[in-house]
Structure 1
Amino acid sequence: MQEQLNFQIDHNIHLELTHHTHAEGLFRSVDENRDHISKFLSWVDHMKTVEDTRNYIKTCTQLFNEGKEVSFVIIYAGKIAGRVGLHHINNLDKNAAIGYWLTEEAIGKGIIINSCKKLINYGFDVLGLNRIEIKVATQNFKSQAVPEKLNFVKEGILRQAAIMNNDFLDLILYSALKKEWVNK
């Protein structure tokens, strides 16, 4: 079943459920964009080898099987260009959080916006979620554009809610409710 959960976004973009076959390509995308994506994502420092990536994917698979996460590799023009997923799925309270990253060359092509739209629809319509959140560092202006373009509500600032390079970062909390979602 796991290999069948894929989404075609357009002729250049499709999402594939994170799978062990992605390990080498995913590691290569991270490694070639290490400086770019490590500015706001602390896990990048832990991805030093393909084996580290394989272990990470095993965790993703386990979380998927437990119903706690559904995460995808983003394929753009036949190449791994990033990831997007619903994380911290809480079936009791019907909420989850979206996380995403892109390689530097893939930015500005509408990839994340369109991938998030598909994922949000999946979360609301298939998983039965009522609330989806996106948290973004206050310094990460490019990433803030995503929830704003998706018409998420800016709820406030989570003070010192993340740590990056031994510094605490403030995060902006955005959310969308199923009844508000108009970007289908």
Structure 2
Amino acid sequence: MFIHKIDNDLSLKLVDLGDAPRIFELTDNSRDHLKEWLPWLDYTTELKDTEDFIKAGRGNYAEGKTLNAAILYNGEIVGIGGFNNINPANKTAYIGYWLGQDYQGKGIMTRVAHALTDYALTELKLNKVEIRAAVGNAKSRSIPERLGYVEEGTIRRAELLYGQYVDHVVYGMLAEEWQGK
């Protein structure tokens, strides 16, 4: 079981089926807020959808392909953070995250992204971590920028988001760059 303490009030833990009711409740209560930048909200309409997400994620974690972790803030699940993809052959990982709307502005996600970056580059011994965010998603883009990630470029029409394509900005952090921070 993956459990990673970040600091006194923040930690990550591998999601399990027992977390499904809280994660679905958080998703449902933050639906309008999250829908602006996340395309999966229309496919998460009942508890079973969250349970299916957790089951798939646990299977992928067992195969070393992903890591979906619950973000625990003062012991309460407030979002999800982890690696949407881990590529052992290329020694890369792609961080993804979302946070319930009531927990924004507390520095939670910056600390989570820092911890995930450090875990990937020091514990997993990967060479590179990427964070991708829609060009217009200023809050999400500010996280890798605060952490010193390098803006590597823009992928045009990277994601279909509710009938419209959005471009993604790609941020990267190399292991040797992280060691110097």
Q: With structure 2 as the length reference, what TM-score do the two structures score?
A: 0.96
CA contact (8 A) 1:26 1:80 kept: yes
Choose 75-84 or 139-148, whichever is displaced more: 75-84
Which residue of the partner structure matches residue 68 of structure 1?
65
1:119 has 2:116 as partner: yes
Unaligned stretches of 5+ residues in structure 2: none
Q: % of aligned pairs identical?
A: 35
Which residue of the partner structure matches residue 18 of structure 2?
21
Amino acid at match of 2:97: Y
Post-superposition offset of 1:182: 4.7
Give the RMSD, CA atoms, in angstroms. 1.2
Post-superposition offset of 1:12: 1.8
Which residue of the partner structure matches residue 102 of structure 1?
99
CA contact (8 A) 1:14 1:76 kept: yes
Number of aligned pairs? Answer: 181
CA distance in 1, matches of 2:101, 2:179: 29
Q: With structure 1 as the length reference, what TM-score do the two structures score?
A: 0.95
Q: For 1:25-72, what per-residue CA distance to the aligned partner results, in whole angstroms no more than 9, with x for missing partners?
A: 000000000000111111111111111100110000011011001121
Aligned counterpart in structure 2 of residue 151 of structure 1, from 136, 148, 151: 148
CA distance in 2, matches of 1:44, 1:22: 18
Post-superposition offset of 1:183: 7.7
1:40 has 2:33 as partner: no
Which consecutive aligned stretches of 4+ in structure 1 deviate over 3 angstroms post-superposition? none
Post-superposition offset of 1:86: 1.2
CA contact (8 A) 1:85 1:119 kept: yes
Which residue of the partner structure matches residue 88 of structure 2?
91
Amino acid at match of 1:102: L
Secondary structure class of the residue paired with 1:42? coil
Which residue of the partner structure matches residue 57 of structure 1?
54
Unaligned stretches of 5+ residues in structure 1: none
1:171 has 2:165 as partner: no
CA distance in 1, matches of 2:59, 2:100: 25
CA distance in 1, matches of 2:130, 2:53: 23
Amino acid at match of 2:70: V
Aligned counterpart in structure 1 of residue 128 of structure 2, from 114, 131, 143: 131
Q: For 1:7-36, what per-residue CA distance to the aligned partner results, in whole angstroms no more than 9, with x for missing partners?
A: 122222111111111100000000000000
Aligned counterpart in structure 2 of residue 31 of structure 1, from 13, 28, 31: 28
Choose 104-113 or 5-14, whichever is displaced more: 5-14
Q: For 1:49-101, what per-residue CA distance to the aligned partner results, in whole angstroms no more than 9, with x for missing partners?
A: 11110011000001101100112101112321111001211100100100001
